[in-house]
Structure 1
Amino acid sequence: MRAVLLRCPPGCLATAFGSFSASRNKLAAQSAAAAGPRLLYSRNTMHYQTEARGRPHSPDYRIYFKTPEGKYISPFHDISLIAENEQENDLPTKKPKKNESEVLFNMVVEVPRWSNAKMEIATKEPLNPIKQDVKKGKLRYVANIFPHKGYIWNYGALPQTWEDPNHTDEETKCCGDNDPIDVCEIGTQVCFPGQVIQVKVLGILAMIDEGEMDWKVIAINAKDPDAKNLNSIEDVRKSRPGHLEATVDWFRKYKVPDGKPENQFGFNGQFKDQDFAVEIIKSTHEHWRALVQKQTNSHGIECKNISCNESPSKCSAEEARDVVASAPAPCAGSHPVSPAVDKWHFV
């Protein structure tokens, strides 16, 4: 059994052996202190708040994360991979489930379903805020590939994971893409950028993007009405005909309107099951541990955090606050978006 790194409040890095469920039982419950009054340009999301800086649809727009106590954090490094137990009205929730497949993971939502702006965790900026990706000086928007509008799921990442460019996948012979592992959340709710939700992992797709390994975890919000009926990738196939095929088609073609070739896939484009997905997540979690402890080439990744005691990049709450203070001031309204973003592409 491989070692699995978990974040244990108040911020130590601990290595635990055994199943994720056993490790989860050892996690202390995260603080349930109520957040203060909502601030302008702030949103509350589970245990975390977000604070927007700059103006949406502009290169300087950033979404920073903070705790209910107002401490700024990195969503990449300071949010636990494993979703900890919640408490409501000071009453403990149900005991953690024993089956490893039922362990829940935190997901940081970057892009809401049906939207086009390519929002992502800024891995190379201090505190890793969410920003809109820029290429050749222009903000990136994904094309609408008929019959789809923008992203066809809530899209985001699992914190405390890293697809290591130094690591070659044994099956596909491709190296990681230098990002947290991606998640397609297939629930019914349309989320918002910066929302942190608890998800149940169902399976995984091995996408190869310009020669790099770019895993796509398929998951569902644990609070979704359909979550109790979807426990495997086969459940998705049976209850949502065409959804998995549409997912492969979307990832295959979404860069074609930009003049790029179609993406390729490992395993002949077949989805791997839940157990396989959890093993990939464990592996990327271990790679993240080496990254945050500076035991490997970081490839420019910014590891500033406030909670990882064994990390050389740990900083004080005051230093984190200074990072946010140096960002552009919040602005009302947003920049206009080109009508070309709504164009339909037939490829």
Structure 2
Amino acid sequence: MRALLPLLRTGRGWRAAAQPAAGARVASRPLRAMALYRTEERGQPHSEDYRVFFKNVAGHYISPFHDIPLRVEPKQNLFNMVVEVPRWTNAKMEIATKEPLNPIKQDVKHGKLRYVANIFPHKGYIWNYGALPQTWEDPRQTDESTNCCGDNDPIDVCEIGSKVLTRGEVIPVKILGILALIDESETDWKLIAINANDPDASKFDDIDDVKKFKPGYLEATLNWFRYYKVPDGKPENQFAFNGEFRNKAFALEIIKSTHDHWKALLMKKCDGGAINCTNVQVCDSPFLCTPEEARSFVESKLSSSWNKENSEEEQIWHFLGK
């Protein structure tokens, strides 16, 4: 088998910006967190060996789970979101929490790559879907508001802006609210957020603004999470708070709690089980590795496998509801 060369994808703004002349006025610019990171794909999409690795501005491999900061601006409601799944796609991509450097990969269950079903009228995921770095829903901690333990993953984000984003993008988001999905007796929080660079971002400050400016979107979100496992023969999902969305203030407290759990994990103050905590930039962490060690992890992931099984999965439609 021949080894595949890595495919590089970079965000706009990767090159250093020209410096303004002395005394010149500088217009305000949108935040571009992606300028600090780029991605490298190894293996072929829709195969079990496909991975998306992350690099920082210095060109060193990093973990999107541990090395990308949670906040964009500490004094503002702006957080970094790692995009795992672009809107309207079906492949269930996720940060590989149990692998060194935690690349994005496609989830596998019972030996098959996972895809979410098309549940009429929705094609795949109905938002850009991803996670907040440096958060962890501890499976050994019972959440006071849901009385269920965490799901052992970074906290999930549903980004509701107008642009279809790219897998591996790192974008600044405004947090608007949160939904408490109960998945097989585990708390699986779903944050509602909007890209801070979206043309309409200034209109959105809290969950009620979603109801006002995107009517029906929260109801569609609730139904999507309620039914998305039904085509696989599973029962409807359940929710805490009778499926009501909590506001921004509540969501920020959940983020703080999951960030604290992540800090305990990275400092080896709790048992993370199979979670891989290898990182390049968390200086006090006992799991810190060198850039050279990080590169060796990545170089071991060369592959040439190929799988086209998604073509039929993505075309099937399911009609559900009562």
Per the normalisation by structure 2, the TM-score is 0.88
> C-alpha displacement at 1:334, in angstroms?
6.9
Identical aligned pairs, as a percentage? 65
> C-alpha displacement at 1:301, in angstroms?
0.3
Structure 2 CA distance, aligned partners of 1:244 and 1:123?
29
Structure 1 CA distance, aligned partners of 2:84 and 2:96?
11
- What is the letter of the counterpart of residue 318 of structure 2? H
**Paired residue for 1:272?**
246
- Alignment length, in residue pairs? 293
Task: Work out which of the residue numbers 306, 310, 321 in structure 1 matches 2:295.
Answer: 321
**Paired residue for 1:14?**
none
> C-alpha displacement at 1:251, in angstroms?
0.3
Contact 1:143 1:345 in 2 (8 A): yes
Give the match's secondary structure for 1:201. strand
Contact 1:153 1:184 in 2 (8 A): yes
**Paired residue for 1:60?**
49
**Paired residue for 2:190?**
216
Q: Does 1:41 align with 2:30?
A: no
> C-alpha displacement at 1:330, in angstroms?
7.2
Contiguous gaps of at least 5 residues in structure 2: 1-5, 12-33
Question: Structure 1, residues 84-103: CA drift from partner, whole Å, max 9, x if none?
Answer: 4xxxxxxxxxxx8x6xxx42
Contact 1:52 1:330 in 2 (8 A): no
- What is the letter of the counterpart of residue 62 of structure 1? R
Task: Work out which of the residue numbers 123, 138, 141 in structure 1 matches 2:115.
Answer: 141
- What is the letter of the counterpart of residue 155 of structure 2? I
Q: CA RMSD in A?
A: 1.5
> C-alpha displacement at 1:69, in angstroms?
1.4
Structure 1 CA distance, aligned partners of 2:304 and 2:281?
26
Contact 2:131 2:155 in 1 (8 A): yes
Structure 2 CA distance, aligned partners of 1:184 and 1:139?
22
Give the match's secondary structure for 1:41. strand
Contact 1:161 1:287 in 2 (8 A): yes
**Paired residue for 2:40?**
51
Contact 1:178 1:299 in 2 (8 A): no
Structure 1 CA distance, aligned partners of 2:94 and 2:122?
20
Contact 1:41 1:330 in 2 (8 A): no
- What is the letter of the counterpart of residue 9 of structure 2? S
> C-alpha displacement at 1:265, in angstroms?
0.5
Structure 1 CA distance, aligned partners of 2:166 and 2:244?
29
Give the match's secondary structure for 1:245. helix
Q: Does 1:337 align with 2:304?
A: no
Structure 2 CA distance, aligned partners of 1:83 and 1:105?
5
Task: Work out which of the residue numbers 281, 284, 293 in structure 1 matches 2:258.
Answer: 284
**Paired residue for 1:23?**
none
Q: Does 1:82 align with 2:71?
A: yes
Contiguous gaps of at least 5 residues in structure 1: 1-38, 85-95
Question: Structure 1, residues 247-295: CA drift from partner, whole Å, max 9, x if none?
Answer: 0000000000001111111111000000000000000000000011111
Q: Structure 1 52/334 Cα, relative in aligned 2: closer, same or farther at 3 Å?
A: farther
Q: Does 1:115 align with 2:89?
A: yes
Task: Work out which of the residue numbers 310, 314, 319 in structure 1 matches 2:284.
Answer: 310
Structure 1 CA distance, aligned partners of 2:127 and 2:230?
19
Structure 2 CA distance, aligned partners of 1:259 and 1:297?
33
Structure 2 CA distance, aligned partners of 1:176 and 1:345?
30
